[in-house]
A and B are shown apart, each in its own frame.
Chain A
Amino acid sequence: EDQVTQSPEALRLQEGESSSLNCSYTVSGLRGLFWYRQDPGKGPEFLFTLYSAGEEKEKERLKATLTKKESFLHITAPKPEDSATYLCARGIREKLTFGTGTRLTIIP
């Protein structure tokens, strides 16, 4: 069974201070790696899907990368509106196994 581990649990950054969030998993194979953003009181919002080691995807200040055992979500020059919990998940046949998330706070 897939195990998905995210680190750190929480991260506080100054506005404009770039950093990375980590997602590691135990089972390799043909599964997608998903990143979601979750704001308080809302459901997860889809950000990226990655399938192959070496694959990268970008959206505004976010870039997701994938290796054989882990994925990174890089945040460049973040703004306060990027504050949220970021969840990663592994998926096979549409079933997702989520990590516990990283709670990101961007301080103005």
Chain B
Amino acid sequence: EAGVAQSPRYKIIEKRQSVAFWCNPISGHATLYWYQQILGQGPKLLIQFQNNGVVDDSQLPKDRFSAERLKGVDSTLKIQPAKLEDSAVYLCASSSANGYTFGSGTRLTVV
């Protein structure tokens, strides 16, 4: 079974620029999540999708972050404009009845 694919692996941008991350979940997994993991902390849920509908985005900073999941498969997470405090690893995960699988993440550095 292929894992959760994320790209890019690394991204360095200047503050106020925009950036987008891509995630391809495990085939057949209806639920997809984006987590933010700041260095030295545990992952924090940003948004949860069920198929292509949003289930929970209560912790997503909607003034600068947006996410979509077209056709209930791939997802993109966008930040515009980025701030220094957005430097983190952005993890995508998908789940089935058997549990969660995380991707390796995208490490974002905002300078």
Bound complex: CA A101 to CA B56 (Å): 24
Nearest-neighbor residue (CB-CB) of A4 within chain B: B42
Bound complex: CA A100 to CA B43 (Å): 8
Q: Mark B28-60, 1 if CB is under 8 A from A, else 0.
A: 000101000000111111001000000010000
Bound complex: CA A85 to CA B70 (Å): 34
Nearest-neighbor residue (CB-CB) of B58 within chain A: A95
Asked if A54 lies at the interface with its beta carbon under 8 angstroms from chain B, I say no
Q: Which size bracket describes the interface of B in this complex?
A: 20 to 34
Nearest-neighbor residue (CB-CB) of B50 within chain A: A94
With known contacts A43-B91, A43-B93, A98–B42 Cβ distance under 8 A: yes
The residues of B that contact A34 with a CB separation of less than 8 Å are: 100
Which segment, of A14-22, A44-52, A68-76, faces chain B? A44-52
Main secondary structure of the interface of B (DSSP, over half): strand
Cross-chain contact of A95 among B4, B48, B104, B105 (Cβ < 8 A): B48
The residues of B that contact A64 with a CB separation of less than 8 Å are: none
Bound complex: CA A49 to CA B102 (Å): 16
Cross-chain contact of A45 among B43, B45, B102 (Cβ < 8 A): B102
The answer to whether A98 and B43 touch across the interface, beta carbons within 8 angstroms, is yes
Min CB distance B41 to A, Å, is 5
With known contacts A89-B42, A94-B95, A100-B40, A43–B48 Cβ distance under 8 A: no
Q: CB within 8 Å of B: which residues of A? A: 4, 34, 41-46, 49, 87, 89, 94-101
- A sample of 23 cross-chain residue pairs with beta-carbon separation below 8 angstroms, ordered by A number, consists of A41-B104, A42-B105, A43-B91, A43-B103, A43-B104, A45-B102, A46-B99, A46-B101, A87-B43, A89-B42, A94-B31, A94-B33, A94-B95, A95-B48, A95-B56, A96-B43, A96-B45, A96-B100, A97-B45, A98-B42, A98-B43, A98-B44, A99-B42
